Structure 1
Amino acid sequence: MRIVTILFMLIALGGVSPAKAVSPDVELMPYPSQISFDEGDFSLQGNINLSLENISAHRSRYILEQLENTLQHYPAVNLDNAQSSQRMIRLHSEKRAEHLVPQLNQAEDYRLVIAAQEIQLTAANELGVLRGLQTLLQLIYVYGDTLPAMTIEDSPRFPWRGLLIDSVRHFIPLDDIKRQIEGMAAAKLNVLHWHLTDDQGWRVESPGYPKLHELASDGQYYRREQIKDVVEFAAIRGIRVVPELDLPGHASAIAVAYPELISLPGPYQMQRHWGVFEPLLDPSNPEVYVFIRTLVGEFAELFPDPFLHIGGDEVNPSQWQQSEDVQAYMQEHNLPDSHALHTHFNRNLQQILSGFDKRMMGWDEIFHPDLPKDILVQSWRGLDSLTEIANSGYQGLLSTGFYIDQPQPTAYHYRNDPTKQARPLPSAEGKWQRWQFTMPRLKGSDVTGEFTLTESDSGLQGSIRLNNQSLRALRLAERDAGLTRFELDSWMGPTRFELYLNDPQELKGRVLIGNTPYGISGRQIATGESKPPAESETSPVLNSEARNNILGGEATIWAELVVPHNLDLRLWPRLFAIAERLWSEPTVQDQQFMYRRLKRMGEYAHARVGLLHRRQQQTGFESLVAEKEDIRPLQVFSEAVEQAQYYTRHHLKYQAGNYHQQERLDRFVDFLPAESLALVDLSQAIQKLPEDETAMAEINAILKRWQQNLPALKALMATSPALETLQPVADDLGVLLGLSEQIRKQCHQAGLRTEAAKIRQRLWSLAEVRPQEVVLSSSLAIESLLDYCVGPMTH
């Protein structure tokens, strides 16, 4: 029997043995700054005393609960029969917290030492203890009840590591919010950015303006005592809560409740569609500032954090331009255009915020040199915008590349970095060609641009400009059998061009945004034999003084296609990878190691943290079939297909007239994760060819599992009306598996190279996005297997 004795005491910390070996291979996430191993281990068997030193009562209870929840998974735990022991788990804060609510830039570093007789976790304050506690809990999950002796020294890279949850577009109940906070704590994230007002609803009880929650919430809003409860719940776990109150745009809900505050008269109705809408607060109306002052005061009572996010984005100036009152106000204040009016409005707003000791935070659009330097700008426009903000002396956060409402490969988020600088442009001389192109999207304007490719002794290099943005260097440029490929990470996602350049008058091929192919057209516009002409407007460079102005980043889960029953599935486990990018050293980059740990974190989050990503998929699949039907065929099928990535699903719904709040989100696609980790396994196995002799066996095992699953899958679909539309996708998976068998049987044979072009075109056809909003993205992996089997690319 193992008995853990809980003692709250103040005891001096003893010394530890010196570290003797360093391991780069511990399955923790985020990865610590330093890990060193010593001889021996600490056994969780038997009697152990727990000492919580200099830790406040609320957090002591929380820490005890966390340890009890973890230790109960091991046999013969008895917390009631307290016995003394020489073996200890000591958690020591040098200073007890005077205030429960965390603050920006509070120290979060910690030192965790595991020795034969004692586990010591020490930190300058309680936040560091909380972060170290999560590492200890992960170690227990990884190693079980025998922990190897080690020393971990750890601290975060950025002080702001956030998650934005949108409770407006679809309302998120409190239990679901709290569960994500538990996940955030496990991942060492420290800011919940709570999006509470927007066009589709008002989610906060307002005593001063009650029609906001009475008329513009559909009865779905948070009462004031509920919000205070969430703020305290988060604070105990070392997480700040920053609310967002959208001003002056995204104001359709305000327009429903108080149309007299809007720039043009109503009437207005609740906005059910997604997009950018016209209602704007009237800056010429004094009552607008009374309204804002009242709301800011109410928010200040609920949210003690010094920051208040005012949105400030996507202001459509149409109403201001049509309003005689607003135009007269602009003349009176010498405001030449709507941009100047918006800045003027923000200056007034900043003064109101200052009266409540609040710092203004907003999206890129609020950035203006007329505003004081203490504002914080959150960038959705990308690294160029963030660099400009930081170089101008303003603090900023990155969210571009962390928009996890989009299904994207976790590796794309993992490569994203708030201080990442553009790769140097190629300088090699050789035969070059320049093309212009157009990539139509399903919604919105086309993506246009130019790219230049230079072929030299060092290989194929190039640069690209998208939508008149700064020039970017290409990555992984290669050519084989007339097919030219290159890629980069863009605001849309991982962007891969696969092109045939044999006809100067007609560009052919496709562009993959994540897993989703888009068409492309264009023509060659210049060629040459030496170095291509220099192009201007390269990416801005972050100066050394400005690096400290970048506080970190935030992942965002906008809720157009997110509801409570798939929230966890959309967030986890990939949020651990984003948390690592914001916590760990920038040198932690190995994507294969990341994915291996991400799988472990997915298991850990399900088994120990209480997140529901696995259960939500299981429950969702069960809802699609008859009661007591076996859903395993559907689970295996889900390994081979994915949601269409980027905003493709949004755009397909827009085209179908379903881009609104009442759209069903209970189909097969809604219960898929952002990325199939089985497909990651397949792709990684293909990448290991031919160096790893076991790789082909891994590939065969995955494809055999899919093949053997097909009869049961088709039988299940035949008896499940909700799955009927997926039958063509299952049929195409059968075709794909037949092609994969042909490729494997003829691998490295001359006949396969002869057939390669025809097989590739078939694979491209199978990879097209489906009306069901899914992509048979396993076809992309099989194409990489084809590339291997017909021979290496020419670099």
Structure 2
Amino acid sequence: MLFKVFLGLVLIGGSYQTRFYNTYQCIEGRCERSSIPVNTIEVLDLKAKGQHTTLAACRLVCDSNAAIWPLPTGLTQLNNDYLGVHPDQFEFDLKDLPETIVPFVSTTTDSFMKNIRQLCGENCTRTEIFVYIHIIVKSTNLDLNWDTKEDYSLALTTRDREVRVHIASTTVFGARHALETLSQLTAPIVTSETSFGLVMLDSAAIKDSPVFPHRGLLIDTARNYLPVDDILRTINGLASVKMNVLHWHATDSQSFPLEIRREPNMTRYGSYSPDQIYTVDDMRRIVFYGKSQGVRVLLELDSPSHAGAGWEWGEESDLGKLAVCVSQQPWRDYCIQPPCGQLNPVNENTYVVLGEIYAEVLSIWGREAVLHLGGDEVFFNCWNSSSEIVEKMTEDGMGRKTEDFLKLWAQFHTRQLNQLDKVRGILNVKVILWSSYLTSPEFIESYLDKNRYVIQTWVESDSPIPSQLLNLGYKLIMSTKNTWYLDHGFWGRTKYHTWRDAYNNKIPTSNLVLGGEACMWGEYLNGGSLDSRVWPRTAAVAERLWSNPANINTEEVEPRLQAQGERLESRMIFPEAIAPEWCSQHERQCS
């Protein structure tokens, strides 16, 4: 059991004689720690006296939002009393669901019950109160995309030692979010010196839906390999805060770790080792598990820059140079970081190989899946150093000025998109590109169709570029560099961005803004540091993207974020501390 329990001894006359509980009282809307001697007083009797045996239980009735994270956006009515429940006494009523979605909802309820059992732990005190959960879902559509409805309503009532929960949603994903909220209306308690239990709020009514349809986190497995279990654990964390996108930056110039059965040389040359490859089965598992948790895994295959490792085998296979300036030195002249490498835009075989890669990944992700194609930090010096590329540009009547290389860059994306369309067999599926020199407001309309390309901006919060692109009619995903880049502060002159920075970053609510992402780039990251770098700052981003609360002081937010951190710990996800433990036990005393 990982929630905070405090059971101690008092030293009297040279020996430990008095045992005591730490308990919590609700004082003017905040929870304060106190202590009482251990005796036979029942927990619910303590509650009647205004004492709660865990901070989580105190927050459930003391916090005006019951410590829910992220905040609901609609009508929220919460009682300030709870009653004891037990995981074995939960029952789900799925009889009103269409048969085609019952298996998916059953997987969701299994995840919910797993989380509830982890919250209670071993020696969980049994109660005689039954919890009946009735779920209604209107749509049989199981697609998870930017058009998916994620709304839900939750009504919880108590009568005659029965808790009745009614959940209604448009899609299965809204129902999943409702169960996540219900798990947050449940808290662990101490029931005796050796046992624990659960309590649930006894009355609640919530209507909720997200502000933004794209709420994500980027992880980078190209710079440093992350084991599959770390990725799955991160998906669990995203689900806990109702984020719905895991942006998987899978390939870069340092490594190509994805198994491509159609082109096995990609990992033969591009993986760090045979043990650091994501097999087709691994990828299927990650995609399937993500969807079961309401998280769309969005794959990024970086191009035409950030492409070196894995592309070196072309000449040996009589395909010519698939990439140029691979590992060229001095690297600062040819790329943003070593090793260098950019795809060869004038080699026809480059597009053939890309087509094979796309066919492989779309067989896993599905033909209609949106892919992220990278597209940033192209170094013209790299292409300009290739006689093959320069000769082809001359043959096509192009010079070697900036506008000529921009044209070449745009031609690459056009041909790349044609390959994707050919593999899909369907047209007009959007792709995502990072903002870059090519996507500058003065150039973009000449090169990139706003109906096909979504731009993910990674600029400072005061940059005019997002608003300029919106004025031109482009759809955006926003990753504000000076608040949502979680790798900053660990290298170079970058500055660490706190959870408060992340929380206070507001993005436009235009219909063209799909949402945003926090970015955990992987140059200085491995599985051991993943949780603490990502959490709880990503939770702060999650509330911004789900609720977009207006004018909330982060001092008021902190106790709820502490509560979410404890929930993450119960799911074996370990966030970094945001304050001394004393501050958590004495809410709002450390402002």
**Partner secondary structure for residue 391 of structure 2:** helix
CA distance in 2, matches of 1:212, 1:256: 9
Residue 169 of structure 2 corresponds to 123
Residues 1:35 and 2:76 aligned together: yes
Question: Aligned in 2, Cα 1:268/1:585: closer, same or farther, shift over 3 Å?
Answer: closer
**Partner secondary structure for residue 114 of structure 1:** strand
CA contact (8 A) 2:241 2:542 kept: yes
CA distance in 2, matches of 1:294, 1:58: 31
What amino acid is the match of 2:418? Q
Question: Aligned in 2, Cα 1:589/1:226: closer, same or farther, shift over 3 Å?
Answer: same
CA distance in 1, matches of 2:90, 2:277: 46
CA distance in 2, matches of 1:86, 1:418: 43
CA contact (8 A) 2:218 2:246 kept: yes
Residues 677-718 of structure 1, C-alpha deviation per residue, up to 9 Å, x if partnerless?
Answer: 239959x99xx9xxxxxx5xx69xxxxxxxxxxxxxxxxxxx
CA distance in 2, matches of 1:65, 1:126: 14
Residue 109 of structure 2 corresponds to 63
Q: CA deviation at 1:256?
A: 3.2
Residues 296-695 of structure 1: pairs in structure 2 closer than 5 A: 296-304=358-366, 306-335=369-398, 336-355=403-422, 356=424, 357=426, 358-365=429-436, 367=439, 368-369=444-445, 370-373=447-450, 374-382=452-460, 383-400=463-480, 401-406=483-488, 407-419=496-508, 547-587=510-550, 589-607=552-570, 609-613=571-575, 673=576, 676-678=578-580
Q: 5+ residue gaps in structure 1?
A: 1-20, 421-546, 614-672, 689-694, 700-795
CA distance in 1, matches of 2:393, 2:415: 14
Q: CA deviation at 1:262?
A: 4.3
Residues 287-302 of structure 1: pairs in structure 2 closer than 5 A: 287-302=349-364
Residue 91 of structure 2 corresponds to 49
Question: Aligned in 2, Cα 1:209/1:86: closer, same or farther, shift over 3 Å?
Answer: closer
**Partner secondary structure for residue 168 of structure 1:** coil
CA distance in 1, matches of 2:271, 2:344: 22
Residues 1:244 and 2:274 aligned together: no
User: Which of the residues 261, 282, 287 maps onto 2:321?
Assistant: 261
CA distance in 2, matches of 1:299, 1:158: 27
What amino acid is the match of 1:419? P
Question: Aligned in 2, Cα 1:313/1:86: closer, same or farther, shift over 3 Å?
Answer: closer
Residues 1:281 and 2:338 aligned together: no
Give TM-score, length-normalised by structure 2: 0.73
Residue 114 of structure 1 corresponds to 156
**Partner secondary structure for residue 394 of structure 1:** coil
Question: Aligned in 2, Cα 1:41/1:145: closer, same or farther, shift over 3 Å?
Answer: closer
Question: Aligned in 2, Cα 1:64/1:216: closer, same or farther, shift over 3 Å?
Answer: closer
Q: CA deviation at 1:152?
A: 0.8
Question: Aligned in 2, Cα 1:284/1:78: closer, same or farther, shift over 3 Å?
Answer: same
What amino acid is the match of 1:110? Y
What amino acid is the match of 1:583? W
CA distance in 1, matches of 2:109, 2:405: 52
CA distance in 1, matches of 2:435, 2:178: 34
CA distance in 1, matches of 2:215, 2:248: 14
Q: CA deviation at 1:375?
A: 1.2
Residues 1:94 and 2:138 aligned together: yes
Residue 469 of structure 1 corresponds to none
Residues 737-765 of structure 1, C-alpha deviation per residue, up to 9 Å, x if partnerless?
Answer: xxxxxxxxxxxxxxxxxxxxxxxxxxxxx
| CA-atom RMSD in angstroms | 3.2
Residue 244 of structure 2 corresponds to 190
Residues 511-563 of structure 1, C-alpha deviation per residue, up to 9 Å, x if partnerless?
Answer: xxxxxxxxxxxxxxxxxxxxxxxxxxxxxxxxxxxx11100001111111110
Question: Aligned in 2, Cα 1:248/1:598: closer, same or farther, shift over 3 Å?
Answer: same
What amino acid is the match of 2:68? L
Aligned length: 474
CA contact (8 A) 2:250 2:257 kept: yes
CA distance in 1, matches of 2:547, 2:419: 37
Q: CA deviation at 1:214?
A: 0.9
Residues 191-210 of structure 1: pairs in structure 2 closer than 5 A: 191-210=245-264
CA distance in 2, matches of 1:265, 1:151: 60
CA distance in 2, matches of 1:390, 1:137: 38
CA contact (8 A) 1:363 1:378 kept: yes
CA contact (8 A) 1:379 1:396 kept: yes
Residues 1:227 and 2:289 aligned together: no
What amino acid is the match of 1:391? N
Give TM-score, length-normalised by structure 1: 0.55
CA distance in 2, matches of 1:229, 1:50: 26
CA contact (8 A) 2:85 2:126 kept: no
CA distance in 1, matches of 2:111, 2:475: 37
Residue identity (%): 27
Residue 456 of structure 1 corresponds to none
Residue 492 of structure 1 corresponds to none
**Partner secondary structure for residue 181 of structure 1:** helix
CA contact (8 A) 2:434 2:456 kept: yes
Residues 615-674 of structure 1, C-alpha deviation per residue, up to 9 Å, x if partnerless?
Answer: xxxxxxxxxxxxxxxxxxxxxxxxxxxxxxxxxxxxxxxxxxxxxxxxxxxxxxxxxx4x
CA distance in 1, matches of 2:371, 2:430: 6
Question: Aligned in 2, Cα 1:329/1:680: closer, same or farther, shift over 3 Å?
Answer: farther
Q: CA deviation at 1:276?
A: 5.8
CA distance in 2, matches of 1:263, 1:96: 45
Q: 5+ residue gaps in structure 2?
A: 1-60, 190-197, 489-495
CA contact (8 A) 1:23 1:37 kept: no
Residue 784 of structure 1 corresponds to none
CA distance in 2, matches of 1:404, 1:332: 45
**Partner secondary structure for residue 252 of structure 1:** coil
Q: CA deviation at 1:212?
A: 1.4
Q: CA deviation at 1:345?
A: 1.2
Q: CA deviation at 1:47?
A: 4.8
What amino acid is the match of 2:572? G
CA distance in 2, matches of 1:283, 1:48: 59
CA distance in 2, matches of 1:102, 1:127: 8
CA contact (8 A) 1:278 1:318 kept: no
CA distance in 2, matches of 1:362, 1:680: 45
CA contact (8 A) 2:270 2:310 kept: yes
Residues 174-189 of structure 1: pairs in structure 2 closer than 5 A: 174-189=228-243
Q: CA deviation at 1:409?
A: 1.1
Q: CA deviation at 1:87?
A: 5.6
CA contact (8 A) 1:274 1:560 kept: no
**Partner secondary structure for residue 50 of structure 1:** strand
CA contact (8 A) 2:146 2:514 kept: no
Q: CA deviation at 1:332?
A: 4.1
CA distance in 2, matches of 1:339, 1:680: 56
Q: CA deviation at 1:233?
A: 0.6
Residue 539 of structure 1 corresponds to none
Residues 142-157 of structure 1: pairs in structure 2 closer than 5 A: 144-157=198-211
CA distance in 1, matches of 2:90, 2:252: 51
CA distance in 1, matches of 2:172, 2:327: 52
Q: CA deviation at 1:150?
A: 1.6
What amino acid is the match of 1:279? G
| Greater Rg over alpha carbons, structure | 1
